[in-house]
């Protein structure tokens, strides 16, 4: 008598575990006699075609690469945990996924040091639709330095900006540059921060250059992480071939 359904979608008795597939002529469990209306259970249907890969090589105690996309076995989400993690829910030094957390993270929702995402929260830099970070660039940006359609920060620039220093079509703050204001203190501050905010006149090219410059820092960190992962994986393969593991 099977105690658990072999098929993830087979009905079973919650009292005794008896598989109830085909039990259509009775109102009770054939094994324990409990009414089916009380004990009939069916596991939530899950497609078991999720992708899984975990490297044997490790760095800092973590798999160099862990990939978990979609449901598989007991993991109904796709949780990846590794130095480089790729998954529905990913956590690693470099993390890519629907929800990603890492030193460098990119995904629908990204949290960490340097982040890219629809919702992006980064300690150092955040780029995304809605972003919060030390430096933030996006549709709506909040940060020490913030630039976006709407921006709030110590220094903020955008279509609508609020900050101690603010430069925008609609600027609100202590020192502002806008249609009806031109603070010299704000001008000096934005000149010094032109590496982030760019310099007028503003064009797609000039704004794109400042975004690219900030993003390049995050991508540089990601490249270093990738090189460390490649090195660790290569070292492990050498160890396997020689029979030696440091």
**Is residue 189 located within the same domain as residue 67?**
yes
Q: How many CB atoms lie within 10 A of CB 121?
A: 20
Cα angle, residue 24 at apex, residues 19 and 27 outer, rounded to 5°: 90
104 pLDDT higher than 60: yes
**Is residue 62 located within the same domain as residue 147?**
yes
Bridge partner list, 192? none
pLDDT in tens, 176-205: 999 888 999 999 999 999 889 887 766 666
**Is residue 85 located within the same domain as residue 167?**
yes
158 within a domain of the structure (yes/no): yes
Alpha helices in 48-134 (DSSP H): none
Three-state DSSP class for residue 17: coil
pLDDT of residue 144: 96
Q: Environment class of residue 84 by beta-carbon count within 10 Å: exposed (0-12), middle (13-18) or buried (19+)?
A: buried
- Residues 208 and 18: their CA atoms lie apart, in Å, by 63
**Is residue 21 located within the same domain as residue 119?**
no
Q: Which residue has the tokens 């410059």?
A: 213
- Boundary (domain end) residue, out of 27, 45, 63: 45
Domain span holding position 203 = 51-225
104 within a domain of the structure (yes/no): yes
pLDDT in tens, 27-71: 788 888 888 777 776 665 445 567 788 888 888 888 999 998 877
159 pLDDT higher than 70: yes
pLDDT of residue 6: 47
pLDDT of residue 192: 93
- Residues 93 and 57: their CA atoms lie apart, in Å, by 15
Q: Which residue has the tokens 């030193």?
A: 103
| Phi–psi pair at 203, nearest 5 degrees | -130, 170
**Is residue 214 located within the same domain as residue 93?**
yes
Total number of domains in the chain: 2
- Residues 207 and 197: their CA atoms lie apart, in Å, by 7
* Helix, strand and coil percent figures for the chain, each rounded to 5: 25, 50, 25
């Amino acid at each position: 008598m099977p105690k658990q359904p072999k098929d993830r979608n087979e009905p079973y008795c919650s009292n005794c575990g008896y598989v109830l597939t085909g039990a259509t002529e009775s109102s009770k469990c054939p094994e324990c006699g409990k009414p089916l209306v009380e004990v009939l259970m069916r596991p939530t249907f899950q497609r078991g075609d999720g992708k899984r890969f975990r490297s044997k090589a490790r760095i800092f105690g973590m798999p160099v690469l862990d990939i978990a996309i979609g449901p598989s076995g007991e993991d109904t989400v796709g949780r990846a945990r590794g130095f480089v993690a790729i998954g529905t829910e990913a956590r690693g030094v470099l993390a890519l996924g629907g929800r990603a957390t890492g030193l460098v993270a990119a995904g629908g929702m990204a949290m960490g040091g340097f982040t890219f995402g629809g919702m992006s929260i980064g300690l150092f830099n955040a780029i995304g639709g809605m972003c919060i970070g030390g430096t933030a660039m996006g549709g709506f940006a909040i940060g020490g330095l913030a630039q976006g359609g709407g921006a709030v920060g110590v220094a903020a620039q955008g279509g609508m900006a609020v900050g101690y220093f603010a430069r925008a079509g609609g600027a609100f703050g202590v020192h502002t540059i806008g249609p009806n204001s031109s603070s010299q203190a704000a001008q000096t501050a934005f000149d010094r921060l032109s590496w982030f905010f760019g310099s007028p006149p503003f064009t797609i090219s000039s704004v794109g250059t400042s975004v690219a410059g900030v993003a390049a820092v995050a991508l540089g960190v990601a490249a270093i992480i990738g090189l460390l992962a490649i090195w660790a994986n290569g070292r492990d393969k050498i160890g396997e071939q020689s029979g030696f593991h440091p």
